[in-house]
Structure 1
Amino acid sequence: MKLTPATGSGGPRSPGATLRINEIFLSLQGETSRAGLLTVFVRLTGCPLRCVWCDTEYAFSGGSSRPLAEVVAAVLAFGVGRVCVTGGEPLAQAACLPLLTALCDAGCDVSLETSGALDIGGVDARVSRIVDLKAPASGEVARNHWPNIELLTAHDELKFVLADRADYDWACAQIREHRLDQRCPLLMSPVADRLDPPTLAGWMIADRIPARFQLQLHKQLWGNMRGK
């Protein structure tokens, strides 16, 4: 694939950039409105956060440095037009932005899974930004970058990963205060082994919460297996 020096809508092009890649694999999307769909995952190495319940600690380090063009070619080789860039925290690498633009320019349907601790303003407008707003039990609620809320559109999604009733009440308060359901689709997930899924579902039903309840489909299928 030849990368041109042009600029896509909303993102820079840096064909000579390199990224620290933890893994690239094909699987089924386990979360968001795309759950169940064939998706190529590009997992970048590194994360500045240390959430108590993190299930991808292996992505904090390791991996290999790969040129941007090589990463795009590896994605396209799967023959699947849907790709999710994740981590770790992908936006911790500056070259994530040109990667997202290059994938869009290659005709991919691109989503980005980000913690919400870093500014999403530079992300190509064609990318669906899946922002994980950190609840108190994560241990990282103070790291939320609140200006991101104003940038969310109907093309994006906002996720709450909840460990207990206090997390749930906090999430409901944010939805009311910021009118989040009027900005983008909302997602609520229970932390595995911390919050019973039927309990969270019951709270959402009782309170008429305008959000999608979700379980991590990939964990239902394969457990916490790497590369799935």
Structure 2
Amino acid sequence: MARPDSVRLTEIFFSLQGESSRVGLPTVFIRLTGCPLRCGYCDSEYAFYGGETWHFDRILDEVAKHPTRTVCVTGGEPLAQRNCLPLLTALCDAGYSVSLETSGAMPIGEVDPRVSRIVDLKTPGSGEVDKNCWDNLPLLTAQDELKFVLTSEADYQWARQQVEQHQLAGRCPVLFSPVWQGVSPTDLAGWIVRDGLPVRMQVQLHKILWGEKPGV
């Protein structure tokens, strides 16, 4: 049984944030191991299995080696590990500005309120739309963000419907992201402008800079 102050970890690395409103910021990424979802476009399948057990003090020591106060906990699906919650709190207590990238399939209500929760609401094109935890939507605040990864114009229309039906743009920033080397960013930009949708389009900066590989 894992200690209450440890998690299963795939990697820690220092790079630029490639997504969300923090895009471009030097960030330490803590990638936890494991995920209950199998999205068709997943770019972190290497984090599904394996990993190594790290205690929180070791993680904090490693994070402190890098010249930033910005940390992102990601996966896999970090909330699939119960000890992710106390890890987030430990990072906040240490004075870091912490974001959490989560699939939206796990409840976010117990996440430390100091954490910015980046929730990825799964579209039909992901193959995992039935895993969405819809109870998360009312919990989102202005410091959180909701992301849709779009595989097609049909996904775009579905996401647009969710934004309008649940009045999501009035709750938190909403991000529309094209699947890497899938939906044309130019097409997505055109759809958003055409419809005057109150969302922010994003592309994955880290992949533009370094390609699709671990550790960036």
- What TM-score results when the alignment is normalised by the length of structure 1? 0.92
Give the corresponding residue for 1:6. none
Give the corresponding residue for 2:146. 158
Q: Residue by residue, what CA displacement relative to the aligned partner does 1:91-139 show, whole Å, maximum 9, x if unpaired?
A: 0001100000000000000000000000000000000000000000000
Amino acid at match of 1:187: L
Amino acid at match of 1:211: V
**Alpha-carbon deviation of 1:16?**
4.7
**Unaligned segments of structure 1, at least 5 residues:** 1-14
**Unaligned segments of structure 2, at least 5 residues:** none
Question: What is the count of residue pairs matched by the alignment?
Answer: 215
Alignment of 1:199-218 (within 5 A): 199-218=187-206
- 3-state SS in 2 of match to 1:80: coil
8 Å contact 1:16–1:68 — kept in the other structure? no
Corresponding residue to 2:165 among 177, 186, 203:
177
Corresponding residue to 1:137 among 119, 122, 125:
125
Counterparts of 1:66 and 1:138 in 2: how far apart (Å)? Answer: 31
Give the corresponding residue for 1:191. 179
- 3-state SS in 2 of match to 1:147: helix
Give the corresponding residue for 1:7. none
**Alpha-carbon deviation of 1:62?**
1.6
**Alpha-carbon deviation of 1:193?**
2.1
Q: Percent identity?
A: 60
Give the corresponding residue for 1:168. 156
Counterparts of 1:92 and 1:45 in 2: how far apart (Å)? Answer: 9
Give the corresponding residue for 1:11. none
Q: Residue by residue, what CA displacement relative to the aligned partner does 1:138-185 show, whole Å, maximum 9, x if unpaired?
A: 000000000000100001000000000110000000001000001000
Give the corresponding residue for 2:59. 71
* Superposition misfits of 4+ residues, deviation over 2 angstroms: none
Counterparts of 1:118 and 1:148 in 2: how far apart (Å)? Answer: 8
**Alpha-carbon deviation of 1:79?**
3.1
- 3-state SS in 2 of match to 1:204: helix
8 Å contact 2:148–2:176 — kept in the other structure? yes
**Alpha-carbon deviation of 1:204?**
0.2
Q: Residue by residue, what CA displacement relative to the aligned partner does 1:164-220 show, whole Å, maximum 9, x if unpaired?
A: 011000000000100000100010000012211100000000000111111000000
Counterparts of 1:77 and 1:207 in 2: how far apart (Å)? Answer: 45
The reply to whether residue 119 of structure 1 matches residue 102 of structure 2 is: no
Corresponding residue to 2:29 among 13, 38, 41:
41
- What TM-score results when the alignment is normalised by the length of structure 2? 0.97
8 Å contact 2:4–2:83 — kept in the other structure? no
Counterparts of 1:52 and 1:79 in 2: how far apart (Å)? Answer: 35
**Alpha-carbon deviation of 1:39?**
0.3
RMSD: 1.2
